[in-house]
Amino acid sequence: MGLRFLDFPPEIREQIYGEILSTASSRCESICPEEPARYKFQLNILLTNRQINHEAKKVFQDNIFIKITTPWPEAIEHIRGEGKVPSVCSGDKASSFRNHHLWIFIDTPATTYRHSYTNFSMLICLEDLEAFTRMWHFSNLNHVGLNQHLRLKLTIQDPHVAERKMPKKLQQRLLLPFGAIKDLHAFSVHGQNTPLLPSVEEALKEDQAIRDPTPEESLAKGFTLKDAGNAHLKAGSYHQALKLYIQAFAAIHITVSGRSRTIHADGYYVRELTSGTHAGMRGDFVRMILRVQLVANIVLTYLKTEDFAEAHFWGKRAIVLFRQSVTGDDTDDFGDDDPQVWLSESWAARFPAHEAMGKIFYRTAMASKRLGKMGDVRNLMRAARIYLPNDEKVQMELNVLEAGNV
């Protein structure tokens, strides 16, 4: 007779339960970058028999769940859709779920409640809490004054053992991410059947009191990090250079994860800068210049490390986005006689980051050449010459191409 599951030692069974029921193993990443991840818990194991139900439930209860409630259904969709925050469930299932460790309630002082069904909920995992608070933080920056109309109430609890003290580290993980949520109309934090540690609440409120950097400060930090990255690039410290360039993006509210780059808080920069090196210029204009310079340097760094695929990806994406911003055309290719204004000499002369854009064209062409993508090389080099009309390296490459009729 074969070995039955319950014949395995308890520690082996517990490990198997963890592989089936933990948030890490139940998370399903989306193949579409525009869609958030989702969770699919294999809860059918709880129906096997009484003993397995008892053992597996203990493991499942090691997961930390957070319930978000608001009177606005569109807010739930915004969190999950535009914010890319994965949800375990939403709607009635989330509303009726009681085994959460943190309850987040968001409303406005003007909101009135007559029936419980006027509220809408979603359930998220602790691992995704920072993604939620980061999304909220960016939303407030993008719509200045948003938080001044909102009221936030946080309630922590141990859903499994009443009156049990929740460890300090867990309270910190649950509450401190909300330090990024500032300038609220009203804010309160409570312990429901579990003592709230005053030191954690105090640390949270101290973080909330720290003001966000101004657009001037954010841009200054971004340029400083870019310059530091350039120094490492020149010294041959390519990994450190890339790290600093990514930090420079983060300083101006652009998150980079692998090949994914997400631009946040556009509205925060749409005003005239009042101090610093770029005083008198529009913040979004200066931010665009820094973005182009960073991409040019990142492409060069990947060329130096001979990672031609990454160099080509970063450069080609920047070119596509640049053309889309000018013409609305987001296709990947362009012909020899492309009439679009973005490849005209008059446009190039007026574009403030024309030198960095020219470097992106040139360096992307060099990556294409190393990858054997010769169909791209000539057109990219011709575009580089428009933006860098006096660059000897660009002209030399074009001469080689024309001599070889490539």
Of the pLDDT bands very low, low, confident and very high (cuts 50, 70, 90), residue 337 is very low
In one-letter notation, the amino acid at residue 162 is A
Structural domains in the chain, sorted by start: 64-209 (no CATH), 215-404 (1.25.40.10)
**pLDDT (0 to 100) of residue 8:** 85
Contacts of 274 (CB under 8 A, 6+ apart): 216
Region 92-101: what's the mean pLDDT? 92
Q: And the tokens for 103?
A: 């309850």
State in Å, rounded, how far the first CA of the chain is from the last one. 72
- The span from the CA of 378 to the CA of 165, in Å, is 68
Q: What is the pTM of this model?
A: 0.83
Size of the chain in residues: 406
Report the pLDDT value the prediction gives residue 352, as an integer from 0 to 100.
80
Residue of 261, 373, 246 whose CA lies nearest to 309: 373
pLDDT value of position 115: 46
- Digit-coded pLDDT (tens) for 28-63: 887 776 778 888 888 888 888 999 899 888 888 899
| Stretch among 7-11, 325-329, 388-392 having the lowest mean pLDDT | 325-329
Q: Name the region of 145 (left: φ>0; alpha: ψ -120 to 50; beta: rest).
A: left
pLDDT for 344-368, tens place per residue?
666 666 778 889 999 999 999 999 9
**DSSP 8-class letter at 194:** S
Q: What region does 90 belong to: left with phi over 0, alpha with psi -120 to 50, or beta?
A: beta
Res 321: pLDDT: 85
267-302 pLDDT per residue, tens: 999 999 999 999 999 999 999 999 999 999 999 999
Q: What is the mean pLDDT of the chain?
A: 88
Cβ 150 vs Cβ 185: under 8 Å: yes
| Across 88-111, average pLDDT | 91
